[in-house]
A and B are shown apart, each in its own frame.
Chain A
């Protein structure tokens, strides 16, 4: 099973207004995907559909191999979400919030303690959530989300309302979760800089439709490589990451985008094994704002 999430042909209308139009995309295992679009583009509706909070008019959502509309329980067991502001019971303590969801999910005491440690809230867990700062609420909500060790995490605007240290903490935490807990993440954000730092790949949406962009634009980690044999190099790299993910920018230089560092090692190994000389390789800093502007040029 290649994908942890497959969204196929999602349609949704509110009255006469069509808010989602044939939305189709997927998320691979261990992938962090940024979900970008202007306000009203359909990000939250799409995410709510995936979380089963909004029912689409048509379409298919498969989570970890389970059809959300046919095997709802199993599909939702494999995912966790944070939609809009952290939806916590304000009049309960942090620990009571964790305990409630643990009871609903049948989580062990050991795991509850692990999550309590994960939130780093310590004695604050025994205080009412209404007295928490936004950063504390976000940490608690994230802890609750990972209680059941989901394979897939959906975060809608997770950086909203966080101060800079909160943003850094959240980013580090999410990266750690992907590495240590074998998780994939789909998150939306208006903070393009954060998307750039966190995401492996970006999905763009506007007016309820997914905007098709070449992989080279959607993949965040881009490199420029200077080689001895351009044609052979293009062929070798294309075999690994696909033609859409690379472009020739000079007679000896190729720009390509990848989703993780392992692929870079593979590319270098294959080039060298075909006796192609690599003269130089360096990271091509992606200016996500430029890409955003390119895609939504009419709006800017």
Chain B
């Protein structure tokens, strides 16, 4: 008789457990709740869009032409004639390109237009920053400037205001240049489509769900089976206890990932069919230095009037300098599919930690109601106690606050992606080891 070869028993247990989990009414109630929440989110996006259009803030260049041309007189006081002339010339080209629905030219002119503004706003007082800005600008300048020399565009020389806008415009230039080189059409943050919905879901809804799911779905993964006797059925078959423990763990993790992403994919496809599809190559911003270092970009967004700035669908964190607000430095562009993969990886890391904790409690406590209460209390208190460290100038190392993968990838949670990876991995290994050692000797 063939018995217990390789990962066979673990896979059988995982598949059987997953089948039961997915069939359970809780799973389907959660799926319906996600559908409902998504509907609310789409309605919010519609409301935001209406609000933006009524307030006169448009992304449609035709409508903002007057505003841009009106700015000519203002800018004439601060920059040289050539710069102002070039600025107006490119603005007109942008409008024309949009009118002709020539989005490739539109993106190229927008990129150059943003570079002109970045140069105009370039800092005089901070030489390091201005040098950094110059390097960044020159990376794409020649590819979009139609022969206009970098040195011919003058800079705005009045005070601190110039200090604030350079990098925002550089980011914009990079964004449009990416659209130009990848032949993509611009999408605004509240446009309803598959990608902007996914982005909103990942950044706004998923963090909350990642706290709720482990509490609801894995607080009783061990004690329920011990109490019902089914653990005895399996363990008396000669299955190692660690194999049983780890199979419950893996199925719990897969179950949560399934609920976090599968309904989402379904909804995003439905939205795509109804409102239109946008390519997964669409550009979004992330903070690449967060993957290499342990020192975070401190999160000063709390308390700001407008804590975030948007470019396309990307939410960029700002910080307050003196009485002004400025965008943080160091962001780079990646295609949305890369952002999604990174998001799934960091979500997986958090879920691995959360389920390890939840399962440990369910192994320690036989009473399912008490284990639910305890897991709930641990997650809520863990989050509440460490949440202040995600703001201001703090170094956040609490795994309980690492539920927002999007902000970790964006580097705006007082923690770098690398730190988050190390902390979540360490806690997961620790909790799993304790859990397995305890369960190995537990009387069933």
Contact = CB atoms under 8 A, between A and B. Distances in A.
Interface of A: 48, 51-55, 72-73, 76-77, 80-81, 83-92, 96-97, 100-101, 103-107, 141, 144, 148
Q: Give the secondary structure class of B's interface.
A: helix
Contacts of A51: 232, 236
Given A53-B235, A103-B8, A104-B9, A88 B229 contact: yes
Contact of B16 (A54, A100, A105, A106): A100
10 contacts: A48-B443, A53-B443, A55-B441, A77-B3, A88-B233, A89-B20, A92-B20, A100-B13, A104-B4, A106-B8
A106 B267 CA distance: 40
Contact of A105 (B230, B231, B237): B237
A73 B231 contact: no
Nearest to A149: B1
A87 B227 CA distance: 9
Given A103-B8, A104-B9, A106-B8, A87 B237 contact: no
Contacts of B237: 76, 101, 104-105
Given A53-B235, A83-B229, A101-B237, 5 more contacts: A55-B441, A77-B238, A92-B19, A104-B8, A106-B1
A19 to B, nearest CB: 11
A269 B441 CA distance: 53
B444 interface: yes
B100 interface: no
Nearest to A103: B12
A84 B231 CA distance: 12
B444 A48 contact: yes
Contacts of B127: none
Please list the 9 inter-chain residue pairs (A to B) with the smallest Cβ-Cβ separation, ordered nearest first: A87-B229, A76-B238, A106-B2, A103-B12, A87-B233, A53-B444, A87-B232, A54-B443, A51-B236
Contacts of A48: 443-444
Contacts of B181: none
B239 interface: yes
A72 to B, nearest CB: 7
A15 to B, nearest CB: 12
A33 B229 CA distance: 24
B55 interface: no
Contacts of B232: 51, 53, 81, 83-84, 87
Contacts of B444: 48, 53-54
Task: Identify the interface centre among B12, B19, B234: most chain A CB within 10 Å of its CB.
Answer: B12
B101 to A, nearest CB: 57
B73 interface: no
A90 B24 CA distance: 12
A54 B443 CA distance: 5
Contacts of A76: 236-238
B228 interface: yes
B23 interface: yes
Interface in B217-256: 228-239
A72 B238 contact: yes
A74 B13 CA distance: 20
A56 to B, nearest CB: 10
Among B1, B5, B441, max chain A CB count under 10 A is at B1
Nearest to B440: A55
A221 to B, nearest CB: 31
Contacts of A73: 3-4, 238
B27 to A, nearest CB: 12
Interface in B1-50: 1-5, 8-9, 12-13, 16, 19-20, 23-24
Nearest to A50: B236
Nearest to A144: B233
The residue among A76, A81, A104, A148 with the most chain B CB atoms within 10 A of its own CB is A104
Given A106-B5, A107-B1, A101 B20 contact: no
B12 A104 contact: yes
A106 B4 contact: yes
A100 B18 CA distance: 13
Contact of A84 (B19, B24, B229): B229
Contact of B443 (A55, A80, A107): A55
Contacts of B228: 87, 89-90
A87 B234 CA distance: 9
Nearest to B10: A104
Contacts of B235: 52-53
Nearest to B241: A52
B236 A91 contact: no
Contacts of A85: 229
Given A53-B236, A76-B238, A104-B12, A88 B3 contact: no
B1 A104 contact: no
A73 B237 CA distance: 9
A89 B225 CA distance: 8
Interface in B359-387: none
Nearest to A96: B16
A72 B441 CA distance: 14
Contacts of A148: 1, 3
